[in-house]
C-alpha cells in the first residue's frame, strides 16, 4: 500500500496537534503542515504577559520551532505557505509560496483544516490607523510591544471587556499606561459571568485605575501620520489616546472551507461530527474554526479555546491517518471551562450561566455564597464568592462561577467532572474535600455552596 499524504492547514495549537497525532497513527504517512505565517506553535494565552514584560523575549513563547517539530514529530513544515483552494474531488490543493508569490497544485489523500479564527474588527471610520491592534497571533503581540517601546503612550483604549480585554488592560497598567475599556454590551466578562458576579470584577478593575464605559466606538480620528489620536463613541464622547487594542471576539475562518463545499454549522463555524470529520469524506477540521458539542445539553457551540483546539486536533489527526484500522477517536464534547486573572482576582466559570441554562430549556435557579480560601482565622485567608446554577427539579449542577484572590480557578476545575457526569448538588455536598487550615477550611466553599443549593431547590440538605 502506497504511503498516504496528509495536508494539515494551520498552526498554533490544533494544527501541530493534528499533524503530530497523524504521524503517530501512521508513521509511514507523508504529513505536511502548512502555515502562512512565521510561527507554527506558541503559547497564545501568554501573549498579554509578554506585552506586560513578564517575558522579555518573544522566543520564550515558542513551544516548538519548525526545526524542532520536524525532528521530534517527524512531519514536514512549510512556513509562509498559504493554501488558496481545496479541490476535494481531485484530492488537490492550491498552495501559494508567500515569499516568492509562486502558486502550485499538490496532491493529498487527506486534508485537516486547522485554519483558526480572525479577530472581529469594528466596521468604523479610521480603523486602519497604524496604532490599532488586535491580539490574535504572536505577530500581533510583537507589534504591540514594539509600538509601546518606541512611542510615548499615555492612554490606551481597549475595545471589548472579555478575557483578552481585561488581560490587556492589566498588561497596559503594568506598563504605566492609563486605560479605558469600551464594553457596550453589558458588564465585563458578561459572556462568562452572571450580572450578580460582575461587580466584583468591576470593583477590582476600577481600583487599579481602569475606566469602564458602556459605550461603543463609532469613529477613530487620525493624525497626519496615520496614528489614532482619539476614539469617538456612540454617546458623543471623544477619548484621546495613543493606542487602541481590539478585543471584540473572534470570527471562524471558513472561506476556504465554504469554497470547497464544506458545511457551516448554526454557530457560523465548520460543522463536524464527533470524529472531527466534515461532510466531505477526505476532509477533517479542528480547532478554532469548528463548532463542538456542549455536553450539558448536546447543543453545538463555538468555543475557541486552546485546550479545545488541542484535543480536537488530536482526534482529527488520528482519524485522518487511521485508514479504517482500529477504533476511531471521538471528541467527547465540552463542558465549557475557563478562567482569567483580573489584577488580584481569579475569575473562573464552568458550565452554563443562569441565562444560558434557561435559554437551553432548563428550569434553572442560582444560589450564591461567600466562603473562604483557607480556615477563616488562618493568616492570609481570602474570601471566595461562588455561584451555582442548578436545575430545579433534579438538583443537577449546570454551571458555576467562582471569584476570589486565591483558590478560585483550581476549585472550578473540581466542578468540571461533576458537571460532565451530571452530578446533583446533593451529591456534591458529600464530596471528601481537603481540610487543612493553611490550604482549605473544614467545610470547603464548594460544599457550602452545594448545601445552600440543596435548600434552594427544596431537596434535603
Which positions are annotated as active-site residues? 45
Q: Please report which residue ranges of 218-364 form alpha helices under DSSP H.
A: 255-259, 306-321, 354-359
Question: Please, are residues 76 and 33 in contact by the beta-carbon 8 Å criterion?
Answer: yes
407: left (phi over 0), alpha (psi -120 to 50) or beta: left
Q: How many CB atoms lie within 10 A of CB 68?
A: 14
The Cα-based distances of 261 to 108, 136, 257 in angstroms read 17, 27, 6
**What is the three-class DSSP state of 89?**
coil
Contacts of 128 (CB under 8 A, 6+ apart): 226
Strands 397-404 and 30-35: unpaired
Cell of 381: 485567608
Phi/psi of residue 147, nearest 5 degrees: -65, -45
- CA dist., res. 125 & res. 119, Å (int): 17
User: Regarding beta strands 383-391 and 397-404, do their DSSP bridges make them parallel or antiparallel, or are they unpaired?
Assistant: antiparallel
Question: Which residue in this structure is represented by grid cell 465540552?
Answer: 334
Dig out the grid coordinates for 109 from the structure. Answer: 489523500
The residues pairing with 179 across neighbouring beta strands, listed in sequence order, are 156, 210
Contacts of 339 (CB under 8 A, 6+ apart): 346, 347, 348, 349, 408, 409, 412
Side-chain half-sphere exposure of 347, counting CA atoms within 13 A: 25
Length of the chain: 461
Question: Rounded to whole angstroms, how far apart are CA atoms 205 and 198?
Answer: 11
CA separation for the pair 14, 8 (Å, rounded):
10
The widest CA-to-CA distance across the chain, in whole angstroms, is: 71
Amino acid at each position: 500500500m502506497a504511503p498516504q499524504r496528509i495536508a494539515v492547514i494551520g498552526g498554533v495549537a490544533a494544527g501541530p496537534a493534528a499533524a503530530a497525532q497523524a504521524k503517530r497513527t501512521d508513521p509511514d504517512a507523508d504529513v505536511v503542515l502548512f502555515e502562512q505565517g512565521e510561527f507554527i506553535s506558541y503559547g497564545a494565552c501568554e501573549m498579554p504577559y509578554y506585552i506586560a514584560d513578564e517575558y522579555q523575549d518573544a522566543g520564550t513563547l515558542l513551544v516548538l520551532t519548525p526545526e524542532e517539530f520536524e525532528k521530534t514529530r517527524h512531519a514536514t513544515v512549510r512556513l509562509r505557505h498559504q493554501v488558496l483552494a481545496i479541490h476535494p474531488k481531485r484530492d488537490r490543493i492550491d498552495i501559494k509560496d508567500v515569499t516568492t508569490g509562486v502558486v502550485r497544485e499538490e496532491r493529498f489523500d487527506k486534508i485537516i483544516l486547522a485554519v483558526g479564527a480572525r479577530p472581529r474588527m469594528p466596521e468604523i471610520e479610521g480603523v486602519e490607523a497604524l496604532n490599532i491592534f488586535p491580539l490574535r497571533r504572536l505577530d500581533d503581540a510583537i507589534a504591540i510591544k514594539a509600538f509601546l517601546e518606541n512611542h510615548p503612550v499615555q492612554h490606551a483604549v481597549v475595545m471589548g471587556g472579555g478575557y483578552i480585554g481585561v488581560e490587556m488592560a492589566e498588561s497596559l497598567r503594568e506598563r504605566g499606561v492609563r486605560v479605558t475599556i469600551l464594553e457596550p454590551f453589558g458588564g465585563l466578562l458578561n459572556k462568562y459571568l452572571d450580572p450578580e458576579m460582575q461587580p466584583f470584577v468591576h470593583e477590582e478593575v476600577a481600583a487599579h485605575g481602569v475606566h469602564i464605559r458602556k459605550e461603543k466606538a463609532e469613529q477613530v480620528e487620525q493624525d497626519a501620520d496615520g496614528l489614532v489620536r482619539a476614539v469617538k463613541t456612540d454617546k458623543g464622547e471623544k477619548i484621546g489616546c495613543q493606542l487602541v487594542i481590539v478585543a471584540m471576539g473572534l470570527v471562524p475562518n471558513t472561506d476556504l472551507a465554504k469554497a470547497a463545499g464544506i458545511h457551516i454549522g448554526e454557530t457560523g463555524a465548520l460543522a463536524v461530527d464527533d470524529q472531527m470529520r466534515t461532510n466531505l469524506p477526505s476532509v477533517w477540521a479542528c480547532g478554532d474554526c469548528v463548532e463542538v458539542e456542549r455536553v450539558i445539553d448536546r447543543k453545538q457551540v463555538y468555543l475557541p479555546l486552546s485546550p479545545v483546539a488541542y484535543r480536537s486536533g488530536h482526534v482529527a489527526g488520528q482519524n485522518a491517518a487511521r485508514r479504517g484500522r482500529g477504533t476511531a477517536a471521538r471528541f467527547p464534547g465540552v463542558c465549557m471551562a475557563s478562567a482569567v486573572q483580573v489584577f488580584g482576582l481569579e475569575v473562573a466559570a464552568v458550565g452554563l450561566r443562569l441565562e444560558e441554562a434557561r435559554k437551553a430549556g432548563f428550569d434553572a435557579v442560582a444560589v450564591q455564597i461567600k466562603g473562604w480560601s483557607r480556615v477563616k482565622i488562618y493568616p492570609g485567608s481570602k474570601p471566595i464568592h461562588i455561584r451555582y446554577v442548578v436545575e430545579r427539579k433534579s438538583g443537577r449542577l449546570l454551571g458555576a462561577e467562582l471569584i476570589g484572590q486565591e483558590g478560585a480557578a483550581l476549585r472550578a476545575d473540581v466542578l468540571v467532572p461533576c458537571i460532565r457526569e451530571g452530578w446533583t448538588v446533593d451529591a456534591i455536598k458529600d464530596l471528601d474535600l481537603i481540610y487543612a487550615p493553611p490550604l482549605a477550611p473544614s467545610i470547603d466553599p464548594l460544599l457550602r455552596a452545594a448545601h445552600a443549593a440543596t435548600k434552594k431547590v427544596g431537596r434535603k440538605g
